[in-house]
């Protein structure tokens, strides 16, 4: 495993946690091996699996670092999720260069859909703020009608 990533040992996690990421970490650590968190979050995190192409999604855009796909329960005529492919639970963990890339992507989406002056961005950061999927994502939402979204599938 590469040296520049963070590794955790079982002892650093609460054993009774219901968080599936912790459970995945715990399982592997039972055999006494160190765990790379990004690897195990990818095993259990739905957005990591989408980013990896292991779970289906209606993808609007992707490159090496970013994926944009339709929210499964859209709350508006346009409801996309803009995510870094790499797992970050919190906006505050995101490296600045990736924040810039996300901004660039948001600009591209708004421009391509011709809704530069009609969209909202929402980040629910933390469970108390309503974050359900623990993989950073920006909700890109617009009430604009008649927008043609070219999605995969």
- Active-site positions read 137
> Who's near 132: CB < 8 A, 6+ residues apart?
124
| 76-135 positions binding ligand AMP, by CB under 6 A | 81, 124, 130-133
Q: Are the CB atoms for 13 and 26 separated by under 8 Å? A: yes
Which of 10, 24, 35, 45 lies at the binding interface for Zn ion (CB under 5 A)? 45
Q: Name residue, tokens 């009774």.
A: 16
Beta-carbon neighbour count of residue 106 at 10 Å?
A: 18
Residue 45's binding partner among Zn ion, ligand AMP, none (Cβ under 5 to 8 angstroms by kind) is: Zn ion
Which of 81, 87, 137, 138 lies at the binding interface for Zn ion (CB under 5 A)? 87
Q: Which two tokens stand for residue 121?
A: 């961005």
User: Which residues are near ligand AMP by CB under 6 A?
Assistant: 46, 57, 71-73, 81, 124, 130-133
């Amino acid at each position: 495993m590469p040296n520049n990533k963070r590794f955790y040992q079982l002892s650093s996690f609460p054993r009774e946690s219901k968080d599936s990421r912790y459970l995945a970490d715990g399982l592997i650590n039972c055999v006494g091996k160190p765990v790379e968190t990004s690897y195990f979050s990818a095993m259990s995190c739905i957005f990591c699996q989408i980013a990896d192409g292991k779970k289906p999604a209606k993808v609007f855009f992707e490159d090496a670092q970013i994926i944009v796909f339709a929210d499964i329960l859209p709350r508006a005529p346009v409801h996309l999720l803009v995510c870094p492919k790499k797992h970050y639970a919190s906006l505050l963990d995101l490296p600045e260069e990736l924040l810039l890339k996300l901004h660039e992507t948001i600009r591209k989406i708004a421009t391509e859909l011709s809704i530069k002056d009609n969209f909202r961005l929402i980040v629910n950061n933390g469970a108390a703020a309503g974050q359900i999927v623990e993989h950073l994502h920006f909700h890109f939402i617009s009430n604009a009608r008649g927008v043609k979204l070219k999605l995969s599938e």
